[in-house]
């Protein structure tokens, strides 16, 4: 696929949002059962059959779809999608409107009743407020048989958003550079991971780890590793029920951010000046083997492969591995949803809008084309994650949290301003990174960790009682 400069810019912005979008997914202790890599093709087939059978060719009207993928509007992907939809519903006219600053723009539009017919569900909206804005797709009990990640988008047993796709958490690496450095086996522990980075520094010309620190959202990608590093689908719920500290010796947070601190604190392991990095520029640099490793969600794989094609290197060198925190010898990774899709409850063509959203999330093939994990239970894993199979990684989905705790995690995160998914300039991730960049030692890390624990714990106790 070729990429114009204009589109790259749009893509970058879309990604910034993908980054922040990922933020909501881990938030509220969600997930529906365990998703392994094995294919339950029957369930997917059933879901597909259902939606096709529901097709009501008599539907008419014009619907407006608001979304964040400006790049896909520009390259005609969306228009092509409409053709597929119109094959089933010939009399429904679909219009698209995309926003580079989607998350803020949609929030502003939702102050009125006029926010399109079908929208990408805004991440900042509280779960309990969903019914104020969106129409229900049906009961959770029914729909959760077919779709992942509905827990965070259900209120009183009704579902208000369907998944457009999802991503796995892990680390992007350049296979060729890693092999050139003489690494034959992927790391199984964080210490091995650090040793690999040092080996890359010694044996190759590449920058072992690229922080991309200037693009503030890049560091939030580390947060997506946390639940995977815990290996526990109930990790976030337990933070509330067992009232454990976020940071303690050997906790998932400690494993992830301790590694971050160690890498950032060693000037030989990352780029020279973290404040003048460039997200768009890092893609070709990675493809050319100038950068060895970056922590990014699996959504990034396809973009780096596109960059490889552009600069004429082998896209197959773009490798993806889980965060190497072995628990009893096994490595885990968590999958979480990308933007979800909802229908404006004030829509004049509610049925057509519903039909479109269901079709988009079920039959459009959008997630597959983007290299994302399908939101449909049992659909095949994308080829981009093939390395997970090879490593025997267990990819899981978070379990739903008990009803009485719905929204509490988010509330604690925002009220305490600890905001694990956030990228405010006061966030602990930035504080840790900057302490590391300035060459401070682990005591600085411990102090920040203690601050985080104190802020989180006192807010948690005042909210949960």
Partner 1 sequence: MQKMLTVCLFLLVPTVLLVTFTYIPAAEMFKYSLEERDQFGVNVKFVGLENYKTVFTTPEYFAAFKNSLYYLAGSFIQLALALFLATVLCSKIRFGNFFKGVLFFPYMINTVAVALIFRRFFQRGDGITNTDGTLNSIITLLGGDPIKFLSTEGLVNICLVFVSIWRYIGFDLVMFIGAIQSVSPDIYEAAELDGANRFQVFRYIIAPSIRPIILLQMILAVKGAISVYEIPFIITGGRFGSSTFVIQTTETAFKFQKVGLASAMAVVLFFIIVIVTIIQKLVFKEEK
Residues that bind partner 1 in the complex, under the rule CB under 8 A = 104, 107, 110-111, 122, 124-126, 129, 132-133, 205-207, 210, 213-214, 216, 271-278, 281-282, 285, 290-291, 414-415, 417, 419, 422-426, 430, 434, 437-438
Q: For partner 1, which is the closer residue by CB, 33 or 284?
A: 284
Strands (E), 177-235: 207-209
463 within 8 A of 291, measured Cβ to Cβ:
no
391 within 8 A of 322, measured Cβ to Cβ:
yes
Q: For partner 1, which is the closer residue by CB, 60 or 132?
A: 132
- How near is the Cβ of 177 to partner 1 at its closest, in Å? 12
Q: For partner 1, which is the closer residue by CB, 232 or 423?
A: 423
- How near is the Cβ of 109 to partner 1 at its closest, in Å? 10
Q: For partner 1, which is the closer residue by CB, 129 or 461?
A: 129
Cα–Cα dist 434/254, whole Å: 17
Other Cβ atoms closer than 10 A to 390: 9
- How near is the Cβ of 421 to partner 1 at its closest, in Å? 10
- Strand 138-139 vs strand 158-159: parallel, antiparallel, or unpaired? antiparallel
- How near is the Cβ of 244 to partner 1 at its closest, in Å? 23
DSSP summary character for residue 314 = -
Query: Which stretches within 204-272 are classed as H helix?
Result: 226-230, 235-241, 252-265
- CA distances to 286, 293, 300, 385, 389 from 172, rounded to whole Å, are 10, 6, 8, 11, 16
Q: For partner 1, which is the closer residue by CB, 133 or 160?
A: 133
149 within 8 A of 397, measured Cβ to Cβ:
yes
What are 141's two structure tokens? Answer: 């009990």
Relative orientation angle of helices 5-27 and 279-287, to the nearest 10 degrees: 100
Q: For partner 1, which is the closer residue by CB, 24 or 143?
A: 24
Q: For partner 1, which is the closer residue by CB, 252 or 340?
A: 340
Q: For partner 1, which is the closer residue by CB, 182 or 439?
A: 439
- How near is the Cβ of 267 to partner 1 at its closest, in Å? 10
- How near is the Cβ of 60 to partner 1 at its closest, in Å? 31
Contacts with 343 (C-beta within 8 Å, 6 or more apart), sequence order: 117, 118, 119, 134, 135, 137, 350, 353, 354, 357
**Three-class secondary structure of residue 339 per DSSP:** coil
- How near is the Cβ of 442 to partner 1 at its closest, in Å? 19
Chain centre to alpha carbon of residue 4: 25
- Strand 162-163 vs strand 166-168: parallel, antiparallel, or unpaired? unpaired
Q: For partner 1, which is the closer residue by CB, 84 or 131?
A: 131
Contacts with 312 (C-beta within 8 Å, 6 or more apart), sequence order: none
Print the SS3 string covering 58-69: CCCEEEEEEECC
- How near is the Cβ of 307 to partner 1 at its closest, in Å? 13
Residue with token string 């005609």 = 76
What are 449's two structure tokens? Answer: 């960790």
- How near is the Cβ of 273 to partner 1 at its closest, in Å? 4
């Amino acid at each position: 696929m070729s990429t114009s400069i204009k589109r790259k810019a749009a893509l970058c912005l879309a990604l910034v949002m993908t980054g922040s979008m990922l933020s909501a997914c881990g938030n509220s202790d969600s997930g529906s059962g365990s998703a392994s890599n094995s294919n339950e093709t029957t369930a997917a087939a059933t879901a597909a059959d259902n939606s096709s059978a529901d097709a009501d060719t008599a539907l008419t009207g014009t619907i407006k779809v608001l979304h964040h993928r400006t790049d896909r509007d520009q390259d005609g992907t969306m228009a092509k999608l409409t053709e597929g939809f119109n094959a089933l519903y010939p009399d429904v006219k679909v219009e698209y409107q995309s926003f580079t600053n989607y998350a803020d723009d949609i929030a502003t539009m939702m102050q009125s009743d006029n926010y399109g017919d079908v929208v990408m569900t805004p991440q900042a909206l509280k779960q309990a407020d969903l019914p104020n804005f969106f129409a229900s797709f049906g009961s959770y009990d029914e729909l959760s048989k077919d779709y992942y990640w509905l827990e965070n988008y259900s209120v009183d047993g009704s579902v208000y958003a369907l998944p457009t796709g999802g991503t796995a958490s892990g680390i992007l690496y350049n296979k060729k550079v890693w092999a050139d450095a003489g690494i034959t086996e992927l790391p199984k522990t964080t210490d091995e991971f650090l040793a690999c980075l040092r080996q890359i520094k010694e044996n190759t010309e590449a920058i072992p780890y690229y922080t991309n620190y200037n693009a503030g959202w890049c560091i939030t990608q580390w947060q997506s590793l946390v639940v995977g590093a815990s290996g526990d689908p109930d990790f976030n719920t337990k933070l509330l029920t067992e009232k454990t500290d976020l940071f303690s010796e050997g906790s998932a947070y400690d494993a992830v951010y301790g590694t971050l601190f160690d890498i950032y604190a060693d000037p030989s392991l990352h780029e020279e000046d973290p404040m003048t990095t460039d997200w768009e520029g890092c893609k070709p640099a990675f493809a050319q083997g100038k950068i060895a490793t970056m922590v990014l969600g699996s959504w990034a794989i396809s973009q780096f492969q596109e960059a490889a094609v552009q600069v004429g290197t082998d896209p197959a060198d773009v490798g993806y591995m889980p965060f190497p925190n072995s628990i009893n010898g096994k490595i885990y990774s968590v999958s979480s949803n990308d933007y979800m899709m909802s229908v404006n409850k004030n829509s004049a063509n509610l049925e057509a809008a519903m039909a479109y959203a269901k079709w988009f999330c079920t039959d459009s093939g959008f997630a597959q084309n983007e290299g994302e994990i399908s939101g449909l239970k049992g659909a095949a894993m994308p080829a981009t994650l093939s390395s997970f199979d090879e490593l025997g990684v267990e990819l899981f989905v978070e379990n739903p949290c008990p009803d009485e705790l719905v929204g509490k995690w988010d509330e604690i995160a925002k009220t305490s301003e600890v905001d694990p998914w956030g990228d405010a300039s006061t966030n602990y991730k930035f504080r840790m990174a900057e302490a590391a960049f300035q060459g401070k030692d682990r005591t600085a890390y411990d102090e920040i960790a203690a601050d985080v624990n104190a802020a989180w714990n006192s807010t948690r106790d005042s909210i949960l009682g």
